[in-house]
């Protein structure tokens, strides 16, 4: 009868950190889907941004950022107890994801206030630009948001592999 190879057990804090990282990846995917659904409404200055879509996208953004911050904290705690570089790398990349997502906060605030139909606040955020100019100027912000979502996708896959292998 062959011997079974025992898998290393996860140390305290490793499983919650990995689970939260997977949840952050899922939140990123949900936010990306909401954002893709919303893009056609943003591109035209004549159309009103629909309240539900704007609030949903803003809530998805906030949820993604908060869960990613939680993933950073839990992965750092896990690294402190396990001293595994995988935990440190997941914390680092979740932090990169949070940082790059925060670079697009101006656009998300404009979207949120447009959904609330608060024109004064939207005009303050946009400044002297027209809506179409503002959206064109947000290209680097969109790129950062795509980077944040991509980084979290790979970080979440890493956490799934960790959970599945043990």
- For position 91, what pLDDT does the model report? 92
- pLDDT more than 70, % of the chain: 88
pLDDT above 70 for 4: no
The model's pLDDT over 89-106, given as tens digits with 9 standing for 90+, comes to 989 999 998 998 888 888
- For position 43, what pLDDT does the model report? 47
- Vertex 33: Cα angle to 27 and 34 (nearest 5): 90
Helix axes 14-42, 139-165, angle to 10 degrees: 150
| Residue in this structure with the two tokens 């697009």, named with its chain if needed | 104
Q: Which two tokens stand for residue 23?
A: 């949840």
| Residue in this structure with the two tokens 């704007």, named with its chain if needed | 54
pLDDT confidence band for 52 (50 / 70 / 90): confident
pLDDT above 60 for 42: no
pLDDT above 50 for 46: no
- For position 22, what pLDDT does the model report? 93
| 3-state secondary structure (DSSP) of residue 34 | helix
pLDDT above 70 for 50: no
Check the CA dihedral 95-70-32-22 and report its sign. positive
Check the CA dihedral 84-86-91-92 and report its sign. positive
Please answer whether residues 25 and 157 qualify as being in contact, where contact means their C-beta atoms are separated by less than 8 angstroms. yes
Mean pLDDT for 122-141 is 80
Please give the Cα distance from 77 to 34 (Å, whole number): 31
Please answer whether residues 109 and 55 qualify as being in contact, where contact means their C-beta atoms are separated by less than 8 angstroms. no
The better pLDDT of the pair 99, 52 is held by: 99
Write down the domain spans for the chain.
Answer: 14-38+50-165
């Amino acid at each position: 009868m062959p011997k079974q190879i025992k898998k290393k057990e996860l140390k305290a804090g490793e499983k919650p950190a990995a689970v939260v990282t997977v949840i952050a990846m899922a939140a990123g995917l949900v936010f990306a889907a909401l954002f893709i659904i919303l893009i056609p409404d943003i591109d035209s200055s004549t159309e009103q941004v629909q309240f539900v879509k704007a609030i949903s996208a803003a809530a998805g953004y906030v949820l993604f950022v908060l869960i990613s911050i939680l993933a950073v904290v839990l992965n750092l705690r896990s690294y402190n107890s396990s001293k595994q570089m995988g935990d440190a790398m997941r914390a680092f990349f979740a932090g990169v994801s949070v940082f790059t997502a925060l670079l697009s906060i101006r656009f998300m605030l404009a979207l949120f206030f447009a959904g609330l139909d608060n024109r004064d606040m939207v005009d303050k955020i946009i400044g002297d630009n027209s809506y179409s100019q503002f959206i064109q100027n947000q290209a680097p912000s969109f790129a950062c948001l795509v980077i944040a979502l991509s980084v979290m996708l790979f970080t979440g896959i890493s956490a799934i592999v960790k959970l599945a292998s043990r």
